Structure formats: C-alpha cells, structure tokens
C-alpha cells in the first residue's frame, strides 16, 4: 500500500504545471526569463534573466528585495535593491511571482511568456 501511495504522489508531482520561475538555472538566486536587454552600454552579452530574492521582510509592512539582471552564463551585469511597502505590501498575497512583477515594473523589463507544448 505504501508503494502505491508513493507512486501516486510521484505521478501527480510530475504531471503538475511548473511555475514561471526558472529552476533549471542555478545562479544562487531565483530567476525569471526576460526579453534580452543590454543592461549597460558597454555590455556585449544581453541579460536574459531577472533574479530576485528577499533580503529583509518584517512580515507586517515592508520587504526589501535584492535584484540582479543576469546573462545566460550567470554573470550579473547590474543589480540593486527594491522595497515593497504600503499598499503594495498589503496587496501581496504571498505569491512567489509578485516580487518579480514588482521589480520588473520598477526597472522596466518585459518577461518572456511561457509557451505550452
């Protein structure tokens, strides 16, 4: 019976839809694919990922995020901090994608829309 339960759980896990966050890239930060952009005038390789992680959250009113524009090799071209507060923080429903959307809007990047096969 235990084997049947384990097999059923594995089948469900492999059939569930993946999130927009790209877990196949291992940059030490959660990343989402973006439309390629040159972060600096001197760049020769476009940034193809926006990485975001929380560096402080008081769980009441504010959250500070570290973000980075990263190329396909994992090199950071530009980075910074953004703070979610006020109505934005209160409206955040705990979604993992909200910080990406928040930072993406602030730094004006466009996310790649996932395609279905």
**pLDDT tens, position by position, for the chain (117 residues)?**
666 555 655 555 444 444 455 555 556 788 899 999 999 999 899 999 999 999 999 999 999 999 999 999 989 999 999 999 999 999 999 898 999 999 999 999 999 987 665
Going from the C-alpha of 62 to that of each of 30, 38, 85, 89, 103, the distances in angstroms are 20, 30, 5, 6, 14
Give the separation between CA 116 and CA 79, rounded to whole angstroms.
Answer: 31
DSSP β-bridge partners for residue 69: 50, 78
Give the separation between CA 115 and CA 102, rounded to whole angstroms.
Answer: 22
């Amino acid at each position: 019976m235990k084997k049947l339960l384990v097999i059923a759980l594995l089948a469900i896990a492999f059939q569930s839809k993946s999130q927009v966050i790209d877990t196949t890239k291992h940059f030490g930060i959660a990343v989402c694919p973006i439309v390629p952009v040159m972060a600096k005038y001197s760049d020769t390789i476009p940034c193809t990922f926006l990485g975001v992680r929380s560096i402080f959250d008081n769980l009441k009113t504010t959250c500070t995020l570290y973000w980075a524009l990263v190329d396909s090799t994992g090199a950071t071209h530009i980075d910074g901090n953004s703070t979610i507060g006020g109505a934005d923080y209160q409206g955040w429903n705990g979604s993992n994608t909200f910080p990406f959307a928040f930072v993406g809007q602030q730094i004006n990047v466009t996310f790649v829309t996932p395609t279905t096969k």
